[in-house]
Amino acid sequence: MFKFLRDKVKGALDRISKKVEEEVPEEKTEILEEVIEKKKDADKKISVKPVGEEEIKEVKKKGLLGKIKETISTKKISPEKFDEIFEELEIALLENNVALEVIDKIRDDLKVEIVDKPISRNDFSSKISDSLKKSISDLFDAEKIDLIKKIRDKQEKPYVICFVGVNGSGKTTSIAKVANYLKDKGVGVLMVAGDTWRAASIQQLEEHGKKLNVKVIKHNYGSDPAAVAFDGIKSAKSNNIDAVLIDTAGRQQSNKDLMREMEKIIRVAKPDMNIFVGESITGNDCVVQVQEFGDFVEIGGIILTKSDVDEKGGAAISVSYVTGKPILFLGNGQEYKDIEEFDKEKLLNSLGF
């Protein structure tokens, strides 16, 4: 993931640094001894990293007219210059499906860190890159969910998870992957064939069940999915199974009947968590879909599928921030093993930070 985004962001940052180098005049900034001492204490290392004018003023105000220890070359970016150079980055982010809300947040964060601050000339590119990394890292502040713990902690079995999303997003495949993942962790699972709309989907889930040796509860095509879910939960209860994974038909927000059907499944099955399954490659559409589904049912977490074929990764960057919901897993292939727990550090790494 992120191949395009990583290259584009790197290119934009290089161009920004070059622009600043060429177009922003150099200034001399005095670094007072006290400020250096203060920085040393804070950083526990001897460095004269960007020292803000504020700090210098503060020291001067206190009457600590310490002697000038060093004068460094700095550059100060005006708000107008910032807007001009940020455009480079903005385009890189837009081209890679990063949501507008996220771009606004990144712009605001960088502004606070960079505008009107004397930044040591040599530190400029690391400063902007560090600020960007921090800003992106904050995008994943949504509560982290330990699914295994949640399942184990539930007093009365089973823990019920309902998977929702649009057609073809990878719900059925993800259920099979999650079933396999839970089995590996020693959690007993049962799957419910709640997509009673498409002839092939019940069969598809049954085949996964056979291969994984996981029980599947099904009714006939066209039957009420809420009733199948109800039976699945009953069966799990009487067999002491830890978790029930409910498959559902794909639907769009515009189809009110199907949305109402989904609400009914949720009303009857009372899931402990609803997971939205969305395709990473659809970018902003995926972000919008989570919001739209969220108008009907409470979404607890997100699985982003097909991250293996997504070279942009805008949805992965944006969806948690925009919706406030954590990404639980990334689907990254067609095999059962192709699912990974979402890991912020790994994401930042693959972004080149």
HSE at residue 172, side-chain half, CA atoms within 13 A, is 21
| Cα–Cα dist 98/219, whole Å | 41
Shortest distance in whole angstroms from residue 250 CB to Mg ion: 6
Q: Is 170 in the site for ligand GDP (CB under 6 A)?
A: yes
- Does 251 participate in binding ligand GDP (rule CB under 6 A)? no
Tell me if 201 contacts Mg ion by CB under 5 A. yes
Number of other CB atoms surrounding residue 10 within 10 Å = 14
CA distance 86 to 115: 11
Token pair, residue 163, equals 């998977």
Q: From CA 330, how far away is CA 153, in angstroms rounded? A: 24
In the DSSP assignment, the letter for residue 140 is: G
Shortest distance (Å) from residue 160 CB to Mg ion? 18
- Return the H-helix or E-strand segment holding 41: helix 33-43
Binds ligand GDP by CB under 6 A, chosen from 52, 324, 333, 352: 333
Q: Is 172 in the site for Mg ion (CB under 5 A)?
A: yes
Considering CB distances under 5 to 8 angstroms, the limit depending on partner class, which of ligand GDP, Mg ion, none binds residue 333?
ligand GDP
20/290 with CB nearer Mg ion:
290
Q: How many residues does the chain have?
A: 353
| Cis upstream peptide for 326 (omega within 30°) | no
Told to check if 173 binds ligand GDP by CB under 6 A, we report yes
Instruction: Give the number of other Cβ atoms within 10 Å of residue 15's Cβ.
Output: 14
- Tell the residue number behind the tokens 């069940």, with chain if given: 209
Residue 248 touching Mg ion (CB under 5 A): no
Strand 243-246 relative to strand 215-217, pairing: unpaired
In which element (H, E) is residue 160 found? strand 159-164
| Site membership for ligand GDP, residue 332 (CB under 6 A) | yes
Of 177-185, 199-207, 223-231, 271-279: span binding Mg ion (CB under 5 A): 199-207
Kindly write out the interface string for residues 277-316 of this chain, putting x where it contacts ligand GDP by CB under 6 A and - elsewhere: ----------------------------xx-xx-------
Contact range with Mg ion by CB under 5 A, out of 69-77, 196-204, 286-294, 295-303: 196-204
Number of residues that bind ligand GDP (CB under 6 A): 18
Q: Which listed residue (74, 96, 169, 318) binds ligand GDP by CB under 6 A?
A: 169
Residues that bind ligand GDP (CB under 6 A): 165, 167-173, 250, 305-306, 308-309, 331-334, 338
